[in-house]
Amino acid sequence: MNPQEKHLLDTFLSLVKIDSESFDEKTIQQFLAARLQELGCKVYVDNAGKKYNTNAKGNVMGFFPGTAKSLPVVLSAHMDTVTPGKQVKPQVTKTRVTSDGTTILGADDKAGLAIILEVLRTLKEQNHLYPPVEVVFTLTEENGMQGAKNLDYKKLKGREGLILDNEEVGKLLVQGPAVNTIEVWVKGLAAHAGVCPEKGISALEVAAYALAQMKLGRVDKETVANFGIVQGGRVTNVVMNELYLKGEARSLNNAKLTKQTAHMKACFEKAVKHFTKKIDGKIRKPEVKFVSVQRYPAVHVSKGHPMVKAVLAAGKKQGLSIRAAASGGGCDANILSGFGFTLPNLGVGCRNCHTTSESLELDEFFKAFQITLSAVLSYRK
């Protein structure tokens, strides 16, 4: 371990010792704001924390002056951790860091925070030309990306850079799905199932009819859809009059997600028509309430983007062949992407995130640092 790696590791260890479970982020927010200031940043803490239930004031932004003429490059990581993340006792071996097994380690995402701090320190100490850096440390990523959703975006001039919030350094995430959460309430008509079932409309049959014609599961290469929750019915001798379904649709392509969601809605509308009938001389029809809410937009960074190329080239120098890949889930990158940012997500070397067997692989961690540093040094716009 060289002195720089030792410093990076020490920074990481000091960060994991600060409790920062989601919504309890005040201490780490203040710590990081102070660190950025010491490193020569102009620091701004926004008011995101006032918009939901966290004890922190807001997201931390650091404006680090450059020595070369360029738009700023953006580096981002999140400040919170999942649970159990209190009183982490890091155990360091030659190759990795783990917790003592009773908590998570918090390498997700403190390894990312440490790398960014160490990159700034290195830039300051070396005699290189480099662009200005805009640091974005977000709150509450692990709980609905609420920090990123409430970030004061107008403070930022840069639109390109890196997010450091992924496991393997060999995998650079350039795509991530947009997700819609879908809820459907189907109302039929109750009737005695033994005496006069023809006077009822089964909400279950309406839903079944809709689902039978719906594209679900793997819809295409980029799109999937699923219903995972169904609730309805109380007794066997009544035609079911109410049914609730909850599901989601995901796509790497925002337009395809819109199309799939409209298709799912149309299937229910068709079912309403199909089950509309005359009962005792009156037209009766089932009712469907279909509500779709976007959880987050898609990430789509072109594989030829200069930032992707810079990371791949820097990886090569470290003896790594980094592959541009798609993620299945959502993170800050999705939210920032929705606000017009292009931020591939670089792995920091952690494994088994969100578990008590989480680890940080030191070799990868050090490489992720070198790659981030190279990508920043080569950035000009």
State the catalytic residues. 80, 141
* Residues within window 37-56 making contact with Zn ion, judged by CB under 5 A: none
User: Nearest 5°: phi and psi at 254?
Assistant: -55, -40
Q: How many CB atoms lie within 10 A of CB 365?
A: 24
| Among positions 21, 25, 109, 168, the unique one binding Zn ion when judged by CB under 5 A | 109
* Residue 39: both structure tokens together: 């490193």
Q: Give the interface segment with Zn ion, choosing from 2-10, 106-114, 182-190, 296-304 (CB under 5 A).
A: 106-114
Binding flags for Zn ion, 179-208, as an x/- string (CB under 5 A): ------------------------------
Beta bridge partners of 60: 45, 137
Residue 137, classed as helix, strand or coil, is strand
* Residues within window 124-183 making contact with Zn ion, judged by CB under 5 A: 165
**Which residue's CB is nearer to Zn ion, number 24 or number 109?**
109
For the bound state, the minimum distance from the C-beta of residue 219 to Zn ion, rounded and expressed in Å, comes to: 28
**Which residue's CB is nearer to Zn ion, number 184 or number 333?**
333
257 within 8 A of 251, measured Cβ to Cβ: yes
For the bound state, the minimum distance from the C-beta of residue 314 to Zn ion, rounded and expressed in Å, comes to: 22
- Residue among 76, 22, 107, 16 nearest 362 (CA): 107
For the bound state, the minimum distance from the C-beta of residue 141 to Zn ion, rounded and expressed in Å, comes to: 6
108 near Zn ion, rule: CB under 5 A: yes
Q: Are strands 345-347 and 161-166 parallel, antiparallel or unpaired?
A: parallel
Task: Write out the DSSP string of 11-39.
Answer: HHHHHHTS--BTT--HHHHHHHHHHHHHT
- Count the helices and strands in the chain (H runs, E runs): 9, 20
**Which residue's CB is nearer to Zn ion, number 45 or number 148?**
148
For the bound state, the minimum distance from the C-beta of residue 105 to Zn ion, rounded and expressed in Å, comes to: 12
- C-alpha distances in Å from residue 234, one per residue of 183, 237, 238, 285, 343: 20, 9, 8, 21, 50
How many whole angstroms from its chain centre is CA 84?
Answer: 20
How far is the C-alpha of 215 from the C-alpha of 224, rounded, in Å? 9
For the bound state, the minimum distance from the C-beta of residue 174 to Zn ion, rounded and expressed in Å, comes to: 17
How many residues bind Zn ion, per CB under 5 A? 3
**Which residue's CB is nearer to Zn ion, number 122 or number 166?**
166
**Which residue's CB is nearer to Zn ion, number 20 or number 241?**
20
For the bound state, the minimum distance from the C-beta of residue 284 to Zn ion, rounded and expressed in Å, comes to: 51
DSSP state of 141: T
Q: Give the interface segment with Zn ion, choosing from 33-41, 102-110, 252-260, 337-345 (CB under 5 A).
A: 102-110
Q: Which helix (H) or strand (E) holds 184?
A: strand 178-187
**Which residue's CB is nearer to Zn ion, number 109 or number 205?**
109
Q: Applying CB under 5 A, which residues contact Zn ion?
A: 108-109, 165
